[in-house]
């Protein structure tokens, strides 16, 4: 099966902005979506981990997805709809599809730690019921359980399951998944900015990226260069972004990226409880890195 979306390129994992009362700031959200689209990204991913989805109600999930869809012109919107409850994930997926989402990103069930058969049945149930391309998201550092390569390969044969977001941090495992899914219309996307370039070198398709919220043009240029085989240019941009990639994970995501958004003037750094603001000792290094990027030899104009 050929999917309607080309899951190739850069897909920022969007932040969800909040006001002083922790209510969603929809105006800032839509402005941010338009900024990212104008920067040339290939799609947008609201209400994922970076979007603090675990703190949102079901109605807020849908309203965020609708707001992003309404804000942009041409880029596909891939909605985060995962849960540790299959029925809940199915409901979120159906509502996002009804709202007009072009694709779905489903984090693996967390906390209750299903076995591999549980992962299979979870994803197959949703894929059978919702006819929208879906991406399986594996991030064992958050969920407590990993999806094994054999499970991913079996899921790749489902006509509605279009890809895999790899955030297990093991390039050997991710490379194996790329190798074993080539016969399917199946994209393997980086879920770890520091591994995006290495993953592209072994056949990955792109990234669902945190750093792209702050440096979308550079991230698009890096991924585009790698996909075109220009690894010298891709490496130069990767090394330029490296300090920011690392600093964005000095505390729990999305704490640092929301602080960076505020420093750059893209939105408030507020988070929804129980997440707290970036510690003061980490703000100064972040500010320094952002300043260095603004004055770096490889300017935005050169990477567009």
| Domain span including residue 171 | 9-228
- pLDDT value, residue 152: 98
- pLDDT value, residue 300: 46
CA 82 to chain centre: 13
Flag whether 276 is in a domain.
no
Q: The domain spanning residue 27 has which CATH number?
A: 3.20.20.70
How many angstroms separate the CA atoms of 262 and 269, rounded?
5
- pLDDT value, residue 4: 76
Give the number of domains in the chain: 1
φ, ψ of residue 22 in degrees (nearest 5)? 65, 25
Catalytic residue from among 111, 113, 123, 137: 137
Flag whether 243 is in a domain.
no
- pLDDT value, residue 297: 59
What is the chain's pLDDT, residue by residue, as a tens digit (304 residues)?
Answer: 556 789 999 999 999 999 999 999 999 999 999 999 999 999 999 999 999 999 999 999 999 999 999 999 999 999 999 999 999 999 999 999 999 999 999 999 999 999 999 999 999 999 999 999 999 999 999 999 999 999 999 999 999 999 999 999 999 999 999 999 999 999 999 999 999 999 999 999 999 999 999 999 999 999 999 999 999 999 999 999 999 999 999 999 999 999 999 999 999 999 999 999 999 999 999 999 999 999 875 544 354 4
Please indicate whether residue 258 is annotated as part of the active site: no
Cα dihedral across residues 252, 253, 254, 259: positive or negative: positive
DSSP-assigned letter for residue 45: B
Please indicate whether residue 165 is annotated as part of the active site: yes
- pLDDT value, residue 82: 96
The response to whether 208 counts as a known ligand-binding position is yes
Flag whether 262 is in a domain.
no
The response to whether 2 counts as a known ligand-binding position is no
Catalytic residue from among 123, 164, 165, 266: 165
CA 90 to chain centre: 20
DSSP structure string for 95-142: HHHHHT-SEEEEEPP-SS---HHHHHHHHHHHHHH--S-EEEEE-HHH
Cβ atoms of residues 148 and 109 within 8 Å: no
Flag whether 1 is in a domain.
no
- pLDDT value, residue 302: 53
Flag whether 242 is in a domain.
no
Flag whether 247 is in a domain.
no
How many angstroms separate the CA atoms of 23 and 35, rounded?
21
Q: With b meaning 16 or more CB within 10 Å and e meaning fewer, what string describes 71-99?
A: bbeebbbbbbbbbbebeebbbbbbbbbeb
- pLDDT value, residue 141: 92
Write the CB contacts of 37 (distance below 8 Å, at least 6 apart in sequence). 44, 72, 73, 74, 75
Cβ atoms of residues 84 and 51 within 8 Å: no
């Amino acid at each position: 099966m050929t999917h309607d979306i080309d899951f190739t390129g850069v897909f920022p994992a969007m932040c969800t902005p909040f006001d002083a009362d922790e209510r969603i700031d929809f105006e800032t959200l839509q402005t941010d979506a338009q900024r990212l689209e104008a920067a040339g990204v290939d799609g947008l991913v609201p209400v994922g981990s970076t979007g603090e989805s675990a703190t949102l109600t079901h109605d807020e999930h849908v309203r965020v997805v609708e707001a992003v869809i309404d804000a942009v012109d041409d880029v596909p919107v891939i909605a985060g709809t995962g849960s540790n409850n299959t029925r809940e994930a199915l409901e979120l997926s159906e509502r996002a599809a009804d709202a007009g989402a072009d694709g779905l990103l489903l984090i693996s069930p967390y906390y209750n730690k299903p076995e591999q058969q549980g992962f299979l049945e979870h994803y197959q149930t949703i894929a059978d019921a919702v006819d929208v391309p879906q991406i399986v998201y594996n991030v064992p550092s958050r969920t407590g359980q990993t999806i094994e390569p054999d499970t991913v390969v079996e899921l790749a044969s489902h006509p509605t399951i279009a890809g895999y977001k790899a955030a297990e941090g093991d390039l050997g495992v991710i490379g194996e998944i790329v190798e074993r899914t080539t016969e399917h219309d199946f994209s393997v996307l980086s879920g770890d900015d520091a591994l995006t370039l290495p993953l592209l070198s072994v056949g990955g398709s792109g990234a669902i990226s945190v750093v792209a919220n702050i440096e979308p043009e550079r991230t698009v240029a890096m991924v585009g260069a790698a996909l075109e085989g220009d690894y010298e240019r891709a490496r130069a941009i990767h090394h330029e972004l490296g300090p920011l990639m690392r600093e964005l994970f000095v505390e729990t995501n999305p704490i640092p990226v929301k602080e960076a958004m505020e420093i750059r003037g893209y939105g408030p750094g507020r988070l929804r409880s129980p997440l707290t603001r970036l510690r003061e000792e980490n703000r100064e290094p972040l500010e320094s890195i952002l300043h260095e990027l603004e004055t770096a030899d490889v300017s935005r104009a050169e990477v567009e």
